[in-house]
Amino acid sequence: MSLRLNIIVAACENQGIGINGELPWRLREEMKYFSRMTKTTKSSEKQNAVMMGRKTWESIPDKFRPLPGRLNLVISSRAKDPGPEFMGSTVCASFKEAIDEVHTRTEVESVWAIGGSSIYKMALESEHLHRIYLTRILKDFECDTFLPSFDPKKFQIVTDPIVPNEIQQEGDITYKYEIYEKLK
């Protein structure tokens, strides 16, 4: 099977994606979108995998870990002795090991890289990268973690019928969903 790797990320105007291990904004509808996108499969027999670094895993509140309805892959140098805090996830020592793990799983339809910055960087460089689902937050926030830059010339902007095209508004924050598909 050819592996389809997608990135899903929300970034503000300075490309910031986080501060102090948390999201700099609270957007309920955007979180529902994240959940829907990473859970939706074409086949009812399959599920998706979410791939994240240890800090992203730790940033998810305990009551939401592991993210339900998805295979949770955590990339951590502690893979050999992960400990109980990783309960419900599959811990891999490297990005490559996580990709190899997905290749052994017939039940996985697609893989979503969900953070942090170093995981996004590896996903952007991966031969398996298919699409970037970017929520562009049209506001600046103070951040200490950033989305690695990518060359937009290597992608085309596409639409997806399940992704809204219009500008979204929650409270005083506007944002829009963009989908970049890697050119063959």
Return the exposure string of 32-60: e unless at least 16 CB atoms fall within 10 Å of the residue's CB, then b: ebbeebbeeeeeeeebbbbbbbbbbbebe
Residue 183 is among the residues annotated as catalytic for this protein: no
Residue 165 per-residue DSSP state? -
Single out the catalytic residue among 23, 71, 73, 124: 23
Residue count (the chain): 184
Is residue 85 flagged as an active site residue? Answer: no
Which residue is it, tokens 């990339």? Answer: 75
Query: Where are the extended beta strands (E) located within the chain?
Result: 5-11, 16-18, 47-53, 70-75, 90-92, 108-113, 129-137, 145-146, 155-158, 168-170, 173-182
From 5, 27, 30, 134, active-site residue: 30
Residues annotated as part of the active site: 23, 30
